[in-house]
Structure 1
Amino acid sequence: MQNSPTTNAIWDNLLQSGTGPVQQGFLDLAKNTHDFVGYSPDVVWGNLQTPEYAAAMLRLVVDFHEIPDDIEAGVAARTARAQYIGQEGRTYHVLLGEQALLTNIGGADVMRGQLQRLLDATTLPGLTLGIIPARARLLIYPAEGFSFFDDCRIEVEGFRGSETITEPPRLAVFRKAFGLLQSSAVYGQQARELIAATMAAT
C-alpha cells in the first residue's frame, strides 16, 4: 500500500465535520490494507465493534469534541471494516489488553453483545486475536494503542485525534513494541476462556 497523503491536520479537519468523514477515511484505509497489525489496550478494536458498541463509543467522541452529531454515518463506516476480514488474503494480527474486555462502553447489555462478537471472531479466517491478561508480566511499559497498515504506516489515536507515522525509524519502534507486547498475550482457547469469563461476570 502506498503511503497516504493524509496528515494529522487533515484528520483533525475531518473530525470537525463529524464522525462520518473520519470513519470513512479509516474504511478506505482498511479496504486498501492487506497486512494489518494492531494493539488496543483498553477498548475493543474498531473492526470488531458491534453497531451498539460503536454507537456508544462515537457518542463519547461527539460529546467530548463537540462536533456534529452524525453517529449513524460513523457507525455505518466503522462497522463496514469487518467485511474485509478474511477477504482476498488479508491478514490481521490484533492484540487487546484485558482491560478492553472490561471497559464499560454503553452498559452491560452492549458489553455482553460485544464480548460475544469477540468470542465469535476468534475463529475468523485471516484474524489472529490475542489478549494480554491483566496479570501478565509485561516486557514493555504500557502505552496507547496503535494500528499498523501494510508495515508502512501507523495510526495512533488519542484525545488529540489521530497521529499518522510513516518515518522508518519510528515504525521500527512500534514493531519492536508489538513484538514485546505479543510475548505477554494468550491466544486460541486461552483467549476464548478469558473472554467467556468476562462475559459471565458482566
Structure 2
Amino acid sequence: MTQPKPTHLGWNELHQEGTGPVQDAFLELVRRTRDSRHYCSNIIWGNLQTADYARAVLRHVVDFHAIPDDVEAGVARRTARAQFMGQESRTYHTLLDEQALRTNLGGAEVMREQLRHVLDALSLPGVRLGVIPARAELAVYPGHSFSIFDGKLVEVETYASCLSVTEEDSVAVYERAFGLLERSAFYGQEARDLIEAELRVLT
C-alpha cells in the first residue's frame, strides 16, 4: 500500500482570503484532536496565546505575506482554541524553548500579560507544559517547531508554507524527536521559575 506523501501548501495560497479561513481550519483540527504534542522553539504555543499576543503574531503574517487584512478575525479563531482545554479528556503536552518566553512580540506589556497567562496554564486540566532551558544539554539537535495530532498528523510551519506529514515513518521521526527534546525540559516548579524569571525582567 502506497503511503501518503507530505503535503506542502504555500501561505500565499492558503491566505488568499486572509487569516480567518486558515485559523478556522486549524480550530476544526484542534476540535477533532484528543491528544496533541507541540514543540515551540521561539514563540508561545498557539492555544495559549492571549488575544494581544496573537494579534501581534498575525499582524506580522499579514504584513509579511501582503494578504488581506483580517487580523481580528484570525485572532478570534486562534484564541477560540482554548475552549477545548479540559474538555472530553483532551491532552496537550507542550514543550517551549526558553527563547519562546523571550521573543518580543507586541512589546513589554503584551509580553507581561502573555507570560502571566503561561504561568496560569501550568495548572490547566489536560495540559503538561515543559520549558527547555537555553543552556540545557540536548539529546537531539534543535530543529523547527512542530505539532503532532493524535499520532497521525504532523504540522510544520515554515516561512513559505505549511507542511502536513501523514506518512507513518515520518510521523514516527517527529515522535522520536519530541521524546528526546522532552528529556531536557523542566516541568512544575522548575518551569514556573524560568517563566517568572523572564517576567521579572519585563517589570
TM-score range normalised by the length of the shorter chain:
over 0.9
TM-score by length of 1: 0.95
Residue equivalent to 2:102: 102
Q: Which residue of 2 aligns with 1:192?
A: 192
Q: Which runs of 4+ in 1 moved over 4 A?
A: none
The alpha-carbon deviation at position 53 of structure 1 amounts to 0.1
Alignment of 1:37-186 (within 5 A): 37-186=37-186
2:50 corresponds to 1:33: no
In structure 2, relative to structure 1, the CA distance for the partners of 1:11 and 1:63 (3 Å cut) is closer
C-alpha distance in structure 1 between counterparts of 2:165 and 2:120, whole Å: 32
2:10·2:161 contact (CA, 8 Å) conserved in 1? no
The answer on whether the counterparts of 2:42 and 2:99 sit within 8 Å (CA) in structure 1 is yes
Shift of 1:101: 0.2
Deviations 1:38-89 (A, max 9, x none): 1001000000000000000000000000000000000000000011111110
In the TM superposition, residue 11 of structure 1 has moved relative to its aligned partner by 6.2
Q: Contact 2:40–2:97 at 8 Å: present in 1 too?
A: yes
Aligned partners of 2:40, 2:183: CA distance in 1, in Å? 15
Matches of 2:29 and 2:161 in 1, distance apart? 16
What is the CA–CA distance in structure 2 between the aligned matches of 1:100 and 1:180, rounded to whole Å? 19
User: Does structure 2 retain, via aligned residues, the 8 Å contact 1:12–1:162?
Assistant: no
Q: Tell me the secondary structure at the aligned position of residue 199 of structure 2.
A: helix
Q: Percent identity?
A: 57
* RMSD across aligned positions (CA): 1.3
Q: Give how far 1:15 is off.
A: 1.5
Residue type matched to 1:188 in 2? G
Tell me the distance in 2 between the aligned counterparts of 1:119 and 1:9.
34
Of 191-200 and 11-20, deviating more is 11-20
How many corresponding residue pairs? 197
Residue matched to 2:3? none
User: Which SS does the other structure have where 1:9 is aligned?
Assistant: strand
How far the C-alpha of 1:27 sits from its partner, in A, is: 0.3
DSSP 3-state at the match of 1:16: coil
For 1:158 and 1:113, how far apart are their aligned partners in 2? Answer: 27
TM-score (norm 2): 0.94
- Note the alpha carbon deviations across 1:116-143, whole angstroms, 9 max, x for none: 0000000001000000000100111111
Deviation at 1:37, TM superposition (A): 0.5
Kept after mapping to 1: 8 A contact 2:115/2:199: yes
5+ residue gaps, structure 2: 1-5
